[in-house]
Structure 1
């Protein structure tokens, strides 16, 4: 684990560094509060910090206050080193945001025990962050296909629309629908239908780029968002998806099932800039044209 030392006295700084390296820490050494503040705001900043109370530039308590005022959620465990012995001074340090303190001179064994406490708190925070990210991701995903859900894919669309307009680029959208899906459910059962939806999602994901997005728009209908993709690009992606879906029967618990897909394409570019709602409507209208034209085909919105 990486740990920051902010200590202006050279001999004490060397002693502290040697002890921490011996215990297996990766040590980042600073000589004053300003340098420490800069490092703590850098990428991959240490999550454990040992700060001297009295330092040039920014002292330990003030550095604690700045750390706690930061808006981002990464927690830094802070230990103050001080020669102050009075209760009032120690209260001041803790109220500034320090997690712990150690008075100089200190026993090495005591420092080691207190750092273990800090490491446990940092480890717990990492577990909580991982759990939070997991549940946020889960809430944004469709439970059956693991694609983005309806709300999230529309949120992504709005974000990509704003970026495309800002950068003067095109944005393609595909509305895709499995053909005769009700017949699949009626003939093979809903478990087989669920399996078809999962396999379709997997096949679609193999045909798009890492920065494209696919969401389950509703039922057996999907919305594909293609950043920096004009008319020909979006048509090519739609055709690749159509071929991938129909090339082989789907292997399900109820046996092999033939599946096809109809797709509607729409594009927003500088020549015809659409808002998110109109882009979805245009793609949906093209999808219905594909359905009306015999299914298992790609249609493109007028002008798009």
Structure 2
């Protein structure tokens, strides 16, 4: 594990570096507080630090305060302050500046190693908490079967896209897709086959969109695609690309190849009302209904929605 050693006195720095290397740490050195702050703020900077109280540029407490101010920008840094000061007022000042622990110089190697192990345990715990939070956040915004945005997340993305489009005078395209004859597929081949079809359709839709677009499972066998800034002249081409991405190759499921197609309904909005999501969804849904009525496996684009 990497550890930052911030110490301006050369002999003390060399001796402490050797001790830390004997403990198995990869030691990164800083000769002043400003350099230490830059290292700790870098993308791959150490998350464990030993900093001297008295240093040029920034002293230990100032360094701690600066690191804590940037805390939201990166993972937590565990800081142990090194000093020859021993009175309680100094201990309190060091800890209140943002240090996690405090060691009086010269410190015994065994005590130093024990304090560092405590820091590592705390960092490991923080890592587990961050991972658990990310997993909870992912589950709250993604569909468990397909891994796509869930209904709430894709609608939130659509709403924000409309807001940006209204402010930047750029259109927003909604594409509503429905797997054709999905109930028959489920009834004939079973729900595992149906799930496999939905997973593969989701994967293909994901490859059919671009970086700034978003795909979500709208419900059941329906998917919603949000394409911000789509030029009106490109709407039919983008929708046709999406339809073809699903229909191009049979889906392998239930021990064989299943022909899967989608009906596609689309609606585009170029107005300035950022609350137009609900009527835009209604237009896309009506276009999807017409696509199904026209024989499925086709696209229907609603008339340009009038500016509200």
- TM-score, normalised relative to structure 2: 0.83
Structure 1 residue 12: deviation in Å?
2.5
1:126-205 → structure 2 map (5 Å cutoff) = 126-205=127-206
Matched, 1:105 2:84: no
Instruction: Find the counterpart in structure 2 of residue 250 from structure 1.
Output: 251
> Which ranges in structure 2 are unaligned for 5 or more consecutive residues?
none
**Which secondary structure state, in structure 2, belongs to the residue aligned with residue 138 of structure 1?**
helix
Instruction: Find the counterpart in structure 1 of residue 287 from structure 2.
Output: 286
Instruction: Find the counterpart in structure 1 of residue 238 from structure 2.
Output: 237
Matched, 1:6 2:6: yes
CA RMSD of aligned residues (A): 3.0
Deviation >6 Å, runs of 4+: 270-274
Give me the whole-angstrom Cα distance separating, in 1, the residues matched to 2:84 and 2:239: 70
CA 1:275/1:19 → structure 2, altered by over 3 Å: closer, same or farther? farther
Q: Is the 8 A contact 2:142 2:150 kept in 1?
A: yes
Q: 1:196-232 deviations in whole A, cap 9, x for unaligned?
A: 2222212222222244211110111110112332234
Structure 1 residue 42: deviation in Å?
4.3
Q: Is the 8 A contact 1:20 1:27 kept in 2?
A: no
Q: Is the 8 A contact 2:154 2:215 kept in 1?
A: yes
Give me the whole-angstrom Cα distance separating, in 2, the residues matched to 1:274 and 1:95: 47
Give me the whole-angstrom Cα distance separating, in 2, the residues matched to 1:83 and 1:158: 58
Instruction: Find the counterpart in structure 2 of residue 265 from structure 1.
Output: 266
How many residue pairs get aligned? The number is 303
> Which ranges in structure 1 are unaligned for 5 or more consecutive residues?
none
Give me the whole-angstrom Cα distance separating, in 1, the residues matched to 2:19 and 2:172: 57
Structure 1 residue 133: deviation in Å?
1.3
Structure 1 residue 138: deviation in Å?
2.2
CA 1:20/1:229 → structure 2, altered by over 3 Å: closer, same or farther? farther
**Which secondary structure state, in structure 1, belongs to the residue aligned with residue 209 of structure 2?**
coil
Q: 1:266-297 deviations in whole A, cap 9, x for unaligned?
A: 22346998733333233222212212222211
**Which secondary structure state, in structure 2, belongs to the residue aligned with residue 225 of structure 1?**
strand
Q: 1:142-189 deviations in whole A, cap 9, x for unaligned?
A: 122221110011112223333334444333221101122222233333
**Which secondary structure state, in structure 2, belongs to the residue aligned with residue 223 of structure 1?**
strand
Give me the whole-angstrom Cα distance separating, in 2, the residues matched to 1:12 and 1:167: 58
Instruction: Find the counterpart in structure 1 of residue 75 from structure 2.
Output: 74
**Which secondary structure state, in structure 2, belongs to the residue aligned with residue 206 of structure 1?**
helix
Give me the whole-angstrom Cα distance separating, in 2, the residues matched to 1:63 and 1:247: 59
Give me the whole-angstrom Cα distance separating, in 2, the residues matched to 1:294 and 1:88: 81
Structure 1 residue 68: deviation in Å?
4.2
Give me the whole-angstrom Cα distance separating, in 2, the residues matched to 1:271 and 1:289: 27
Give me the whole-angstrom Cα distance separating, in 2, the residues matched to 1:53 and 1:87: 15
Give me the whole-angstrom Cα distance separating, in 1, the residues matched to 2:88 and 2:288: 74
**Which secondary structure state, in structure 2, belongs to the residue aligned with residue 299 of structure 1?**
strand
